[in-house]
Structure 1
Amino acid sequence: MPMQRLPTSTSKLVTCAQIITSVSSVVKELVENALDAEATNIDIKLEGNGLDLIEVKDDGCGIAKTDMPNMCLPCYTSKVCGYEDLDKLQTYGFRGEALSAICSVADVTVTTRTSEDEFAMAYAVNDCGNIVTAKPSHLNKGTLVTVSGLFRKVPVRKNYLNSGRRAAEELKRVDNIVKSLAVIHPGLRVTFRHNKCLLWQKSACSTLCQSLMQIVGHFVSSKLEELLLRETELSVDMLVPRRETENLAVLCLSNVDCMMLYINNRPVRYKKLEKMVLKYISECFSGQPLTHKYPYCLVSIVISPGEVDANLEPNKTRVMLKEEI
């Protein structure tokens, strides 16, 4: 077959299917957008394992009318103006790809209202990211993104995600993502529903320990202590097992997800940091090895945005530090 240029519709679908790979990737992008909009309340609703419907509603700043025509077009973003701005990045998103990618694999409606708007508007968007209809809505200040018919154009992936065991695993991934983003923002209120059933909710609170307690429960959180480090260029906040805990095993699981690691409030998987935390905890509990076990803990590191590169892969859970820990 001779070489030829792919049709735009095909190349866009292929590319976007690498960015939006699952229900959890949609939820992650939409919740991060809500946090970037300075939301204090976020409500997440799924139906049919998220393949039928995903709704993320927030009370953030909303989207200005002047930005609406471009909000779902690729590479349109309000987060950065040029590559050099990545050194000052304070937001979760920055590429301007998420909404565009979601539109390519699902039906999307964005309802939004800013504090300056007299009323909200609901915009239906086609798979190219263009607005096709607009009508008034009763939404209060904030944004509601409705995603339906996810992967309708990628039936193999839809069938794969909709099978019983895989659907349950994907729902668990969504749960983990929602909790990991919620816990690092103590003042945030979150609800997570599936098929009208409330799966998890978090109330607004004042401390990181209170926030973590709403995930791990009182028994575990009461056996953790907070350690703080404050320097000019570095801030570290750790919740780790208390040294006087007699049996470390009661605070350990075989699942690494119980170790919650953050760099600039971004949930990350960072092997070197994980090993350092495990080594520190193991030394504090000499004689209690952590072979194939992971303790409940939370480590939040805040450094200058210019010292971390989150632009390594689409989901941004893997980062690179300019100065290795």
Structure 2
Amino acid sequence: MSISELPQGTVTLLKSGQVISSVSGAVKELIENSLDAGATSIEIRLEDFGFTKLEVKDNGHGVDKTQVPSMVQPHTTSKIREFSDLVMVDSYGFRGEALAALCSVAKLKIRTKTGNDLVASTFTFGPDYTVQNIESQAGQNGTIVTATELFYNLPVRKNFYKDHSRRKEEMRKVEKLVQSFSIINPSVRFSLFHNKVNIFGKIPCDNISKSSVAVLGHSCKTGMVEYYFVFDPSTCEVEEISLENYESSNDQILVYMMVPKKTLGMSTEYGRTNTEKTFTFVNKRPVELKQVEKVLRSAFSEAAGLEVEKNPVAVVSIIVGRSQRQSLDANLEPNKQKISLGCLNDLMEKTDQFLKNKYKEGDDKLKEPDTGHFEYEKDNNAQNDTATNYVKDAESNSNEEITNKMKDITEELQESKSLFSPGKGTNFL
């Protein structure tokens, strides 16, 4: 077969299938767009696990209606102007591919309204990125992106997701994704619906500590512990810091961790066979970092004394400051879920040492005698002895009184009997 250029339609589907390969991939791209638009409330609605209908609604600043046709074109973005801008980019999106890819594998509608618009505008797009229809209607500020019949033109992938177990697995991925964005964006309200049933929700809160508790459960307040530390790549030194210093630092590599406390039942309550409850972030981006998962699994399992390792319920957030951005690459894959960091191996080695040392400190605390508890038991036992003696005395006094009373009654009866019995000197009329 001779070498020839592929038709544009084939090229489009090949590229789009990499960017939007699943429902969770589509949801991720749309949530990131909403966060980049400054949204403080994001609502995700799925029908039939997202394959029939997928909708993401936000209250962000919206898009100027003259710009909407351009935003669906491939490789169009407002985030960067050239490749070198990637070093300092702070937005989630930057490739300019998400909406174009979604438009290629689903039927796409976008409704948007800015603060300057009197009404909202709804745009319907065709598979070739062209606007097929525009409608004006009442609506709130923000954007609603609706995708229907996902993978309608990719029969193999559509058939792959006909299996119910695969659809449920995809739903679990969507739920974890929404939970991840909820944790790392504390001030944003999130809600997830499937077939009109609310399956997850989180209200706005102040910081990552509170958002982690909101997502993982209130038992984390007592069963888990937080650590903040700074890592210096030039010296490979770690310094533990406070929450205030963590939030105010912006030019270093900062690490936040919420991990289970060292307790006797930690493996039962916080150990998992998978990583569904392990959340990792780099510069607020949910990522998959096997190195982080390995460190957490090793330290947790060693602390819990497990023969077979388990993954802990945990949150790890790494902030790479501007002075270290040259060593960070978030453009390894189209979905941006894997990153490269030049000092990652050194950082993980120090994180492993830090966490294991903290768990050893927990060992010492468990070994220390709880004198307060013993004093309480001593006092409690003394009180019990006093109460027992009191009861015994009361019973003894009570028995003595009853015996004396019985003697008095017996004597009275005997006197009465001798008084009224017939006998000598007694006259009965």
Q: Aligned pair 1:315/2:315, yes or no?
A: no
CA distance in 2, matches of 1:131, 1:85: 30
CA distance in 2, matches of 1:65, 1:120: 9
Mapping 1:105-120, distance limit 5 Å:
105-120=105-120
Mapping 1:156-171, distance limit 5 Å:
156-171=156-171
Mapping 1:86-235, distance limit 5 Å:
86-229=86-229, 230=246, 232-235=251-254
For these two proteins, the number of residue pairs brought into alignment is: 322
Q: Aligned pair 1:298/2:331, yes or no?
A: no
Which residue is equivalent to 1:289?
Answer: 306
> Which runs of no fewer than 5 residues in structure 1 stay unpaired?
none
- What do the CA deviations read for 1:292-311 (whole angstroms, capped 9, x no partner)? 30111101111134431110
Contact 1:111/1:137, CA 8 A, preserved across alignment = no
CA distance in 1, matches of 2:257, 2:139: 39
Which residue is equivalent to 1:49?
Answer: 49
- What do the CA deviations read for 1:152-189 (whole angstroms, capped 9, x no partner)? 10122112212211111111111111111111111111
Q: Aligned pair 1:36/2:36, yes or no?
A: yes
Percent of aligned pairs with the same residue? 36
CA distance in 1, matches of 2:4, 2:213: 56
Tell me by how many angstroms 1:203 deviates: 1.1
Q: 1:282 to 1:156 in 2, by over 3 A?
A: closer
* Structure number with bigger Rg: 2
Tell me by how many angstroms 1:280 deviates: 4.3
Tell me by how many angstroms 1:98 deviates: 0.4
Contact 2:182/2:215, CA 8 A, preserved across alignment = no
User: Which amino acid in 1 is paired with 2:270?
Assistant: L
- What do the CA deviations read for 1:116-162 (whole angstroms, capped 9, x no partner)? 22221111111122222111122211100000011110122112212
TM superposition score normalised by structure 1? 0.94
CA distance in 2, matches of 1:290, 1:84: 48
Which residue is equivalent to 1:246?
Answer: 264
User: Which amino acid in 1 is paired with 2:313?
Assistant: Y
CA distance in 2, matches of 1:154, 1:222: 49
User: Which amino acid in 2 is paired with 1:241?
Assistant: P
CA distance in 2, matches of 1:2, 1:237: 55
- Tell me which moved more, 57-66 or 214-223: 214-223
Tell me by how many angstroms 1:3 deviates: 2.6
Q: 1:7 to 1:171 in 2, by over 3 A?
A: same
- What do the CA deviations read for 1:73-111 (whole angstroms, capped 9, x no partner)? 000001110000001110111000000000001100010
> Which runs of no fewer than 5 residues in structure 2 stay unpaired?
230-245, 348-429
CA distance in 1, matches of 2:148, 2:326: 37
- What do the CA deviations read for 1:250-293 (whole angstroms, capped 9, x no partner)? 2111111221111101111112222333444456x2x6237330
Q: 1:7 to 1:140 in 2, by over 3 A?
A: same
CA distance in 1, matches of 2:18, 2:43: 26
User: Which protein, 1 or 2, shows the higher relative CO under an 8 Å CA cutoff with sep ≥ 6?
Assistant: 1
Contact 1:42/1:191, CA 8 A, preserved across alignment = yes
Greater share of residues in helix: 2
Contact 2:223/2:261, CA 8 A, preserved across alignment = yes
TM superposition score normalised by structure 2? 0.72
